[in-house]
Structures are given as structure tokens and as C-alpha cells.
Amino acid sequence: MAAKGKVYLIGAGPGDPGLLTLKGRDCLAKADVVVYDRLADPRILGWVRDDAERIYVGKASCHHTMKQEDICRLLADLAGEGKIVARLKGGDSFVFGRGGEEALLLKERGIPFEFVPGITSAIAVPEYAGIPVTHRKVAASFAVITGHEDPTRAYSGINWAGLATGVDTLIFLMGVENLRHIAERLLENGRPADTPAALIRWGTHPEQRTLVTTLGQAYEDVQKAQLKPPAIFIVGDVVNLRDQLSWFETKPLFGKTFVVTRARTQASALTARLEAEGAKVLEVPAIRVADPEDFGPLDTALSHLQDYTWIVFTSANGVDRFFERLRSRRLDARALAACRVAAIGSATADTLDAFGIRADLVPPSFKAEDLTDALLPRLHPGDKVLLARAAVARNVLPDALRAAGMIVDVVPVYRTVADCENKEELLQALRDKAVDAVTFTSSSTVTNLLDSLGDDKDLLADIPLAVIGPVTAKTCVAAGLQPAVTADTYTIDGLVTAIQAYFATSR
């Protein structure tokens, strides 16, 4: 008899993937199959193993991918096959999430299950809008009510009389479509028409939109604003605190959409920094970091590291790939004991530090020209230098060192390959004028994105371009594009700072 599996009923939180709990993350990581809903942020699935099965069962108000009873049976059947199942639901499974229904069938079949609570949108979404559901001087109670109850029911399951005057703050989840009915019932039962109210759409997402109104005016204002689901409706005096407590929608880049063209393995750093400032990010990796076509030159250099006076790294990718190959030869940082090490840029130096190597030289400006000027006084004719870098790169540094009498071995440790993911999504966003800026962190991201876009590259003509430094800027200019933003400090933080300054000025 096959061993029964187990089901984890996980609340994914209200939207921001950072609000997933640690336990939820750990359960996703060990699942054999994930059954997930429409409102779970897709990036949360990044915690799922690559070999795990993914099954989408999302429901919109007028369209159900799978009926609830079928979802319940699916969970039981999968666990009955001995699989570890993660049931991922937006918000919390017990707050109109029907988690109880799913667990009851599992209980009936004798299948083990656990609930992993999620942060409910009933509290988190108002919080992201700067509206506390309680406040010592304003509201001592709150209620969470479904906004989906059928208004044609003969007898309502909601105690409208008690809610209207007996609870300070009312939070209706998914209440946009029934808004007129909800407002009428509250007004009929004694809630004043001038009670402050708000609707919050896509709460905790970069697309969050908040409409402040009153109970009596809410339906009309929503029609004028053409505000659509998903949204919550909150009623109560606490809404007035938004003027003082709004924090998410006041971030410097809130409401802006940026395209990140870095390689998928690196994009997260820039994405995280932009999102921390309130931006929406569309990741469109224009390059992919791959092995060099031939490891021969690198292997030869690794066999004679003791012969080099200096080893120079020009990127964090170069460091990672160098040490990856070093480890494959059962060597570690001790193999560099006889060498001095130089790095272009603080990110490269930080990556070296993670491998136990403190860079002896990091130029104040992160360009090959500046490294050349800093390195030459420390060398003597005949010194041997190993330059570990991308297969295709500028030859400013090796040419200058050779001209000064040094022996330079230029060894490719990786190469960048054109790889324009999400191209169609990018094209649609550009055509819809839904992009505020495109970011480039290297010359290769520029050339590869333009090659991939082909004749559609003209769509970039009116879009501000933000580049990490003057070398990347020159590549843009050579391609007929004029960057709007060029970072003074050639790092991710420097780029984001420059972007903030640009949009602050344009605002």
C-alpha cells in the first residue's frame, strides 16, 4: 500500500511576495506539487523546486478554472498518491479562502494536513494604504465581511443592522461588484452617508490604487473612476488617518514601471532596489551568462596561478565563474596566495570578499581606464597579469598594460548570450505606453535587446533610458539612442539613485 502524502494549506498573503511567511516558503520548497490560485504573486512560485508539478486552479468572479469541489478532490487524490502537496491561496486560507472545506475532505479521507497562516488582505491592504483598521482614539472594533454575497438572496447571512452601527471599521473583501448593494444596506440600517470610506485596488502591489470617498458617494465615485476588481471596501473614521499615515504610495518611484534587462540570475538585485522605492518592474533579461566556448585557456591559467603577479577581475560574474572552475579542480582561495588581486567596482570586490579574497586594488571610478591608471604604478615591465573577464569586452586595460611592457593573459571565464525573455510582454507594454524607463547595466544588454527587438526598436525612441555608466551610455549613443539617466557611481545603488533624481526633477 502506497504511503499517503500530506497537504500544506498555505496562505500566500495579499500580494507583495515579501509578505509570504517563512514557514510558507519552507513548505513550498519541499512540495512535490503546488496547487495555486489567481491572486498568489507568481514570484512566490520561485520557492518551488524546479522538478515540482504546478497546477493552476485560480478563480475570477465570473470564471472558475476548476470548481471548488473538484479542487478539494484534486488535493486529496494527489496526497493519496503519496505526494507532498502545497495548496497556495491568496491572503489567508481561513478568511473567505475556503481552506476549511478543503481540509474537511482531507480529514474524511484520512490524509494529514497542516494550515500555514497567511497575512490577510483585510488588514494588510488598508495598512499599505495608510489606514489602520483600529486606532485607540478612533476605532475599537472591526469586522471583515464578504463582498460576494448574492444580493438577490431572500434572507441575508449578514447582520446588516448590527454591522451598520455596532462596529467601528467595516472591511468588505472583493466588494466592488456588489458595492451599490453594500452601501444601500449600511445606509438603510443607520450608517451615516458622510462616513469616510475607501476602495483599495491591487493592495500591496506596485499597481495599488486608493480611492477615498464616503459611504454615500462611494458607488458613484467608483463608476466615475472606472475602478475594477480586485479591491477591498473599507468604511469607518479610520480612513481619515490616511492623510497622515500614507507611506507606500508616497515612495519616490511609486506608480512608475521599469524594464530590467540584466541576466535573470542578476536581475533580482536591481529589481529589489527599484521595488523598494515603490516601482513596478518588468524583467526582460537581454542576456544570459554562459560558459566560455573553450575552458582550455582558463584551465591553463589555473594550473599556473603562481606565475602571475596580479589577477584582475572586471565583474562579479567573472569572479563567480572563476571560482566555480577553481572548485571543480578541487582548489580554493589559497591557490591565489602568491598573487595580488584587483577588481573593477565595489560589487566585484564584494563578490571576491565572499570567496575569502580581499581585493588589493579597487579604483575609485569603476572603469577600465581608471583601473589602468591605478594599476600601472604598481607593476614593472615583465610582470605577468591574468585578466579574467567576459569573452567579449573592451581591450583598454590589456592594451595599455602590454604597451607598458607587461605580459597579459586575457582569459574568458564566461560569455554573454542574447536571451530576450518576456519579449512579447515588453512589446505590449511599450505599445501601450506603460513603461516609464528601460534600464541597462552593460553594453551587452543594450546591443542584445536592440537586436532582439529588430524593427520594433523604434518603440524605445520616446522611453527614458537609464544606464549604469558612460561606457554603456556610449553604446546607446552609437545605436542612435540618447540615455536620459547615466549613473555617476557605476553600481546598482548608483543607478537607482540617479533614477530617483531624474524622476524627482521631472515630477
As annotated, the active-site residues are 37, 59, 174
Helix segments in 43-159, DSSP class H: 68-80, 99-109, 121-128
For 59, 67, 98, 403, the CA distances from 63, given in Å and listed in that order, are 6, 10, 17, 70
Task: Report which secondary-structure segment, H or E, holds 180.
Answer: helix 179-188
Count of C-beta atoms within a 10 Å radius of residue 115: 17
Distance (Å, rounded) from C-alpha 143 to C-alpha 172?
Answer: 8
C-alpha cell belonging to residue 118 = 497567511
| Partner residues linked to 8 by β-bridges | 86, 114
> What is the residue whose three cell numbers read 537586436?
451
Q: Residue 62's Cα: distance from chain center in Å?
A: 29
Q: 465-467 and 485-486 as β-strands: parallel, antiparallel, unpaired?
A: parallel
> Is the Cβ–Cβ distance between 95 and 78 less than 8 Å?
no
Greatest CA separation for the chain: 94
Cβ atoms within 10 Å, residue 67: 11
With contact defined as beta carbons under 8 Å apart, do 1 and 7 qualify? no
Q: State the Cα–Cα distance between residues 417 and 287, nearest whole angstrom.
A: 5
In this structure, the strands spanning 437-440 and 465-467 are parallel
**Residue indicated by cell numbers 515630477:** 507
Concatenating the DSSP letter of every residue in 9-62 gives EEE-BSS-GGGS-HHHHHHHHT-SEEEE-TTS-GGGGGGS-TTSEEEE--EETT
**Integer Cα distance of 102 and 369 in angstroms:** 63
- Which helix (H) or strand (E) is 209 found in, with range? strand 209-214
